[in-house]
Amino acid sequence: MKNFYKNSTSLLFFLILCSITISCTENKQAEEVLKLGIDEYNKGDVTKAIMYFDSTLKLNSKHSGAFKYRGICRIELGQDSIAIEDLNLAIKYNLKNPEALMFRGSAKANLNLHVDAIADYDEALKYEAKYYDAILYKCISMGQMGKIEEAFSLNNEVEKSLPNAMDKFLAKRLDRAKLVKSLLPNRKEPITFDELLKEGKLEFHDGNYQKAVDYLTKALEINKNSIEALTYIGDAHNELHQLELALIVYTIGISIDPKNSDLYVRRAITQKDHGSPKKSFNDYNTAIKLGSQNPFAYSGRAEAFAHQGKNKEAIIDFTKAIELNPSSPRIYSNRAITYGAIKKYDLAIKDFDKAIELKPNNIEDYCNRGWCYSLIGKFKEALSDYDIALSLDPNHERTNNNKRDLLENESKRKKI
């Protein structure tokens, strides 16, 4: 009997040891397969990557990394709902998982669940406060919700640490989308509203504006009241210089959602380009009355005021636009010109200083600031600005004329 118990204990120990060895071997294999999947993901072949992540999960059914990467791949395939299920499991098996939280947020945003998306971005930022991708995704969702002022403010905070962060972020997303799209095998044409909308947006951001119109028009056949599809179609027509078509599309959008201030701003910009300044001005007014926090509403109306000679009203609107978007060199330049028009040259120079700080290679700003310096008798500063402008473009006619006049006037002054 003693030998029986002794042998049983030895057998049990042997079985446990074997189980641990097998488990360790499977975990090692799972990590190796996961790495192969990540390699394919980095190459852009998400369908092949998913096969490896599936295999990883067969070896380890609770592998957080495999669920996370498979979820990310499914987002890139437009399978946002399924992606959320994978990312839920990634977070379940690894609670402190900021990347999974961020991508789950982006999947929710793709489904227009922006409140839930922002909650995920905020949760990710609890674990990694300077997770800039999460902050920028949050900016986009806030913008989609109409919280333009908050979105600009948050983006400007990022810009302090990472100049042009949003532009680089969007460019990176576009490059990634192009890569994935080019490697999809036997790619089927989109047929559902979500697929058509997503494909249309992708073509738009890829610069294929006519293709974007084609896909988005098909999306509208399924959901004729989609403001997002109409907005992209109008923007695409604008890019194609089909201004009348753009105006028609924006007007349809406004008829569906008459309180959509963003559509009024878009139509106002198009009306101006179309040569209808009064209609443009009226649309800017309407957008602002509706509570628009879009800086283009105020800067656009300010430009209209300036053209009417209403410089004080223009300065008030330019100032509001700067509050909403303090990183726009154009708005500072335009306010500076307006200050110049009412002979407040010191204030104009300060605005040109800021515009040049934000965009150092703008010839017009140097030429205009030089002109302001010349009007207050600062010869050296004016000459320096003209020289900088001419170093950027030696043939810039206005700067050459201004410099010639400056030198002639200074020569006459010295002879007196």
- 240 phi/psi in degrees, rounded to 5: -85, 5
> In terms of Cα–Cα distance, which of 95, 87, 88 is closest to 70?
87
Q: Is residue 16 part of a domain?
A: no
> In terms of Cα–Cα distance, which of 225, 248, 242, 246 is closest to 234?
246
Do 84 and 140 have their domain in common? Answer: yes
pLDDT at 22: 44
Q: Is residue 334 part of a domain?
A: yes
Do 169 and 87 have their domain in common? Answer: yes
> In terms of Cα–Cα distance, which of 365, 307, 360 is closest to 331?
365
Do 157 and 288 have their domain in common? Answer: no
Cβ atoms of 71 and 100 closer than 8 Å: yes
Q: Is residue 377 part of a domain?
A: yes
Longest dimension (CA), the chain: 128
pLDDT at 185: 63
Separation between Cα atoms, residue 305 and residue 310, nearest integer Å: 5
Do 256 and 157 have their domain in common? Answer: no
Domain end among 144, 176, 208: 176
Cβ atoms of 112 and 77 closer than 8 Å: no
pLDDT at 2: 47
Give the pLDDT confidence of 259-282 residue by residue, as tens digits.
Answer: 999 999 999 999 999 999 999 999
Separation between Cα atoms, residue 333 and residue 359, nearest integer Å: 10
Q: Is residue 187 part of a domain?
A: no
Residues 6 or more apart whose CB falls under 8 angstroms from that of 301 comprise 281, 284, 285, 288, 317
Q: What are the mean pLDDT values of the chain's consecutive 10-residue runs (416 residues total)?
A: 51 48 66 92 90 91 93 89 92 90 92 88 89 88 77 79 78 77 67 88 86 93 94 95 95 96 95 94 96 93 95 97 91 97 97 94 96 95 96 95 92 76
Do 235 and 314 have their domain in common? Answer: yes
Do 51 and 110 have their domain in common? Answer: yes
From residue 318, alpha-carbon distances to 186, 191, 339, 359 in Å are 52, 45, 11, 18
- Write the CATH number for 320: 1.25.40.10
Residue 353 CB-density burial (10 A; 0-12 exposed, 13-18 middle, 19+ buried): middle
Do 79 and 139 have their domain in common? Answer: yes
Do 159 and 213 have their domain in common? Answer: no
pLDDT at 182: 74
Q: Is residue 155 part of a domain?
A: yes
Domain end among 141, 176, 211: 176
Domain end among 145, 176, 207: 176
Do 255 and 398 have their domain in common? Answer: yes
Helices (H), 207-294: 209-222, 227-239, 243-256, 261-273, 277-289
Do 251 and 331 have their domain in common? Answer: yes
Domains: count for the chain: 2
Do 155 and 206 have their domain in common? Answer: no
pLDDT at 18: 47
Q: Is residue 371 part of a domain?
A: yes
Q: Is residue 236 part of a domain?
A: yes
Provide the residue range defining the domain that includes 108.
27-176
192 DSSP 8-state letter = S
Do 159 and 204 have their domain in common? Answer: no
Q: Is residue 137 part of a domain?
A: yes
